[in-house]
A and B are shown apart, each in its own frame.
Chain A
């Protein structure tokens, strides 16, 4: 069974500073994918970044980067130069790359508040 753990309480960061949101995972699969989604207060889930288990380099998408440490089973999201619009809930998710089994397992989420 797959499991995603996000244990940080609500996070606060000053505008323009960087912040790291933690995610650890547990799986017995060798091939899997890790995702981060953002959910603003309006409710829609926005895909941010993806990391494959065999990717040798950490994924980056603009101000988002994923600090992937496979041996430690962690996939932390780093947001650089925080903006007020980054205030939202953030979810880490995992998918086993096993053909038709394309379900995502989500963590419980972390609330990020950016202070001006």
Chain B
């Protein structure tokens, strides 16, 4: 089975902090994604990557950056966290036309 692991299920940070959300997959998938999920808005794509060191902006990249130094790891970075970035963050990966497989999500609160 595909395993997508997000480093934290719950995270509390303060405004202005630099926040790192880590995602690791164990199936050699070339494509990886970061979404945020908010009530009534569904999932919105922040960034995605289809290869090591490659990244593409999604629909809502403002306030975020990403890093993909190794194929199995895709990191989401909040450079200076703000309260409007309090949300559920979901990482996903897949290969080719296979379905995306998701991690368990990180519920991030910015105080």
Residues of A within 8 A of B (CB): 33, 35, 37, 42-47, 50, 91, 93, 95, 97, 100, 102-104, 106-109
Starting from the known contacts A100-B50, A108-B41, 17 additional A-B residue pairs (CB-CB under 8 Å) come to: A35-B99, A37-B102, A43-B105, A43-B107, A44-B105, A45-B102, A45-B105, A47-B100, A50-B99, A102-B48, A103-B45, A104-B33, A106-B35, A106-B44, A107-B42, A108-B40, A109-B42
Nearest residue (CB) in A for B54 is: A100
Measured between alpha carbons, how far is A106 from B37 in the docked complex, in Å?
A: 10
Q: Report if B88 contacts A (CB, 8 A).
A: yes
25 A-B Cβ contacts within 8 A?
A: A35-B99, A37-B102, A43-B88, A43-B104, A43-B107, A44-B104, A45-B90, A45-B102, A45-B105, A46-B102, A47-B99, A47-B100, A47-B102, A93-B43, A102-B48, A102-B94, A102-B97, A103-B33, A103-B45, A104-B33, A104-B43, A104-B100, A106-B35, A107-B42, A108-B40
Residues of B within 8 A of A (CB): 9, 31, 33, 35, 40-45, 48, 50, 58, 88, 90, 92, 94, 97, 99-105, 107
**When A33-B97, A45-B92 are in contact, do A91 and B42 touch as well, CB less than 8 Å?**
yes
Contact check, A91 vs B43: say whether CB atoms are below 8 A apart: yes
Please indicate the chain A residues that have their CB under 8 angstroms from the CB of B92 in the complex: 45
Contact check, A103 vs B48: say whether CB atoms are below 8 A apart: yes
Measured between alpha carbons, how far is A44 from B31 in the docked complex, in Å?
A: 19
Measured between alpha carbons, how far is A91 from B40 in the docked complex, in Å?
A: 12
Among A45, A47, A104, A107, max chain B CB count under 10 A is at A45
Measured between alpha carbons, how far is A42 from B48 in the docked complex, in Å?
A: 24
CB of B101, distance to nearest CB on chain A (Å)? 7
The 8 Å CB contact of B42, one of A42, A102, A106, is A106
Measured between alpha carbons, how far is A102 from B58 in the docked complex, in Å?
A: 11
Please indicate the chain A residues that have their CB under 8 angstroms from the CB of B31 in the complex: 102
